[in-house]
Amino acid sequence: MLRILLGVGVLALPLSAAAFTASDLNRMCARTDIASRSACAAYIEGAADGVFNTIDAIGGTTGPLVGQYFCLPPDVRSAQLTDAVRKYIADNPNIAGYNASTAVSLGLGKAYPCRDGS
């Protein structure tokens, strides 16, 4: 019985306490293999959707008056999002330890700020 409880306890522990950081994201996005490039794009697009949907869920829709971090043009491409986020990380080395999704929000906010009436 003790072995079972110990086994369950070990499985309940997180495998890693470290968060996926801006630096981790940038390293993944710098790789040239297809799997890494796809994972990079998917992470950035997913984080962007998550931030947008969170703002929407708490009562905002779009635009700077409700706290939207960024306003993406309808024709923006995945590579443009990746380039914007990587540029922001490179230009702001102090955010290397930030959570990667925060870096995505900040990078897209810099590249695609909302305008009044957006």
Residue 23 has pLDDT above 90, yes or no: yes
pLDDT digits (tens, 9 = 90+) for 63-105: 444 456 788 889 999 999 999 999 999 999 999 999 999 999 9
Average pLDDT over residues 13-36: 84
Q: Residue 57's pLDDT band (boundaries 50, 70, 90)?
A: low
How high is the pLDDT of residue 4? 43
C-alpha pair distances (Å), 51 with each of 4, 60, 73, 100: 40, 11, 16, 12
Kindly state the percentage of the chain with pLDDT values over 90: 56
Domain range for 101: 19-111
- 96 domain residue, yes or no: yes
Number of domains in the chain: 1
- What's the predicted TM-score (pTM) here? 0.75
Which two three-digit tokens encode residue 104? Answer: 């995505």
In this structure, what DSSP letter does residue 18 have? -
Q: Is 58 left (phi over 0), alpha (psi -120 to 50) or beta?
A: alpha
Q: For position 85, which CATH number holds?
A: 1.10.890.40
- 118 domain residue, yes or no: no
- 7 domain residue, yes or no: no
